[in-house]
Chain A
Amino acid sequence: MNALLEVDALRVFYRKVEGLHRASLRVEEGSVVTVIGPNGAGKTTLLGAIMGLLPSSGAVRYAGAELAGVPTEARVARGLCLVPERRELFGELSVEDNLRLGAFQRVRHGERDAMRDLAAIYARFPRLEERRAQLAGTLSGGERQMLALGRALMAKPRLLMLDEPSLGLAPRVVRDIYHIIADLKRAGVSILLVEQNARAALQVADRGYVLETGQITLEGSAAELAANPRVIESYLGLAARSAGA
């Protein structure tokens, strides 16, 4: 398989502080890859650098091309999309306008019927359709997460990067979100999933990486990682042990 995304020795500095120390990873076309790690490990930093939101050194290759110097909006146009940790919705615009703007890059490049995808998004998230005229800033946490995901899907991503999609959500909604991730994978979308919720992430992922203090410390197939004692100890915790007992 060829790598859709190849990150090589990526380094990010916040002034003097190093946010990411020579991290490398690969995402194969059509696969789900997860990055797990403790708070402050650099996961959000990694996604920001891949997206071109943060200046970085090292190499990011996507779909066969080096991304250095490519601005964020051009990365979006090539199908590289991020659902950020802070969601970054347009609070003073309606739910529907947020979704429409998700397709901005497609419309700008002349795709006339991009807005037809609204129906598909509403079919996936009926809650958003009920709230289509409501301002995004007044949505509940779970609804905001659905909207952030819906907005990213309107861009027709080829590689979708999700930063802690289950953060602060009720178990039911988390399950919904993971169903959608599995659906997207089936539809051929590649996914890079950053999670605290290692159990859910390793269940849906093909491969995984452990990121600690800015460095990749472990990598392997999702099954290998789930069986790794260090991962069980640090990220799967008690529940894994009781499940094994």
Chain B
Amino acid sequence: MNLDTVLWLVQDGISNGAIYALLALALLLVFAVTRVIFVPQGEFIAYAALSLTMLQAGQLPGTVYVLVGGGLLAAAYEIAAALRARAGARLPRVLAFYVLLPAAIAVLAWWAAPRKFDLWVQALIVLGLVVPLGPILYRIAYQPLANASVVVLFIVSMAVHYALTGLGLLFFGGEGLRSAAFSDAQFKLGVVNVTAQSVLVVLASVLVMLALWLFFTRSLYGKALRATAVNRVGARLVGIPAELSGSLSFLLAAFIGAVSGVLVAPIATIYYDTGFLIGLKGFVGAILGGMASYPLAALGALAVGLLESFSSFWASAFKETIVFTAIIPVLVWRSLTSRHVEDEEE
């Protein structure tokens, strides 16, 4: 193996690792705030990537049906809850978010699809289609069970995962799609050929992470999310509604998933069920990082990307096996060294 190959593998590993790092952050955030192990995180990636490719082909992505249908279902939950509590004051705002917004984005997508706009415009439309799915999912599947145990929430996550992959197969079909690259440019950095696409991936990931960091350290709502993660009772006592933090964390998770999807769409061929495996690698990264600290999780995810890239070179048939087996020594080491953290009882 010569230096060129090594550098090329490193480049590949870093750009994949950057995406895993984003996903690891989303998984940690959702888990810390809601105790949900968010298996369907990967579906956002697949939905975003496939929607982008379909927009490029001038077709209306099936995501619009999931978005509008899910929005209506969420609105039905809200109306039922409002009737039960005889509190209708919140309804207009809620209906605007769950019904009007999805409908508006769907119409926009329908109008824009045959016009084949610039890739960047299409990427924005994809964000509009996928990001609201986060809060909608939370409202439908998780908010009614907010006090359930971690295991129950995990089972719900599996159910949501299968439901979304099923809908994905229905709306996107079974064949894999790959989108055009944002840029085909290549340039030389010393001895390596660097593709503009991989630079874009790393740059976008770093930007999103920076934005998240600013959100969590500067804004009151970001701090409220962290507060909910560290002390749920304290958060209620200062008046942070659990539904608000849950919804917000799912919104961020969907945003991260959608950005990742747009970024991987030109790099990899995406099937309706590919998201799961990508999400799982983010999860491995989060575990390598100890499921607690954000910087460590990001480093862990980067390690996963590099490990994957090198193992696909040396033993490509075993690449997934190697990546997932890497969890075992880490878990053993962690269980030997870390104090026992009791499962949160409520």
Contacts and interface: CB of A to CB of B under 8 A. Distances in A.
B230 A84 contact: no
B189 interface: no
Interface in B217-263: 220, 223-224, 226-227, 230-231, 233-241
29 contacts: A51-B237, A53-B233, A53-B237, A71-B241, A72-B236, A72-B237, A72-B239, A73-B236, A73-B239, A76-B238, A76-B239, A84-B237, A89-B231, A90-B234, A91-B230, A92-B226, A93-B226, A97-B223, A97-B227, A100-B220, A100-B223, A101-B238, A101-B240, A104-B224, A104-B240, A105-B238, A108-B239, A152-B237, A155-B238
Given A53-B237, A92-B230, A104-B220, 14 more contacts: A53-B236, A72-B236, A73-B239, A73-B241, A84-B237, A89-B231, A90-B231, A93-B227, A97-B223, A101-B227, A104-B238, A105-B238, A151-B238, A155-B238
Nearest to A106: B239
B85 interface: yes
A170 B240 CA distance: 32
B239 A90 contact: no
Interface in A76-104: 76-77, 81-82, 84, 86, 88-93, 97, 100-102, 104
A26 B50 CA distance: 62
Contacts of A91: 230-231
A157 to B, nearest CB: 11
B126 to A, nearest CB: 31
Contacts of B230: 90-93
Contacts of A9: none
Contacts, number: 66
Interface in B189-232: 220, 223-224, 226-227, 230-231
A69 interface: yes
A107 interface: yes
Interface string A46-84: 000001010000000000000001011100110001101
Contacts of B224: 101, 104
A88 B231 contact: yes
Nearest 3 interchain pairs by C-beta: A105-B239, A76-B239, A88-B234
Nearest to B86: A69
Interface in A161-179: none
B128 to A, nearest CB: 25
A153 to B, nearest CB: 12
Nearest to A151: B238
A21 B145 CA distance: 29
A155 B226 contact: no
A67 to B, nearest CB: 13
B237 A82 contact: yes
A131 B237 CA distance: 23
B233 A88 contact: yes
Nearest to A115: B220
Given A73-B241, A90-B231, A93-B230, A101 B236 contact: no
Contacts of A102: 238
Given A88-B234, A101-B220, A73 B227 contact: no
B42 to A, nearest CB: 29
B249 to A, nearest CB: 16
B231 to A, nearest CB: 5
Nearest to A83: B237
Nearest to B234: A88
B237 A77 contact: no
A77 B230 CA distance: 22
Contacts of B241: 71, 73
A214 to B, nearest CB: 22
A76 B223 contact: no
A102 B224 CA distance: 10
A90 B226 contact: yes
Q: Which of A86, A88, A91, A92 has the most CB of B within 10 A?
A: A88
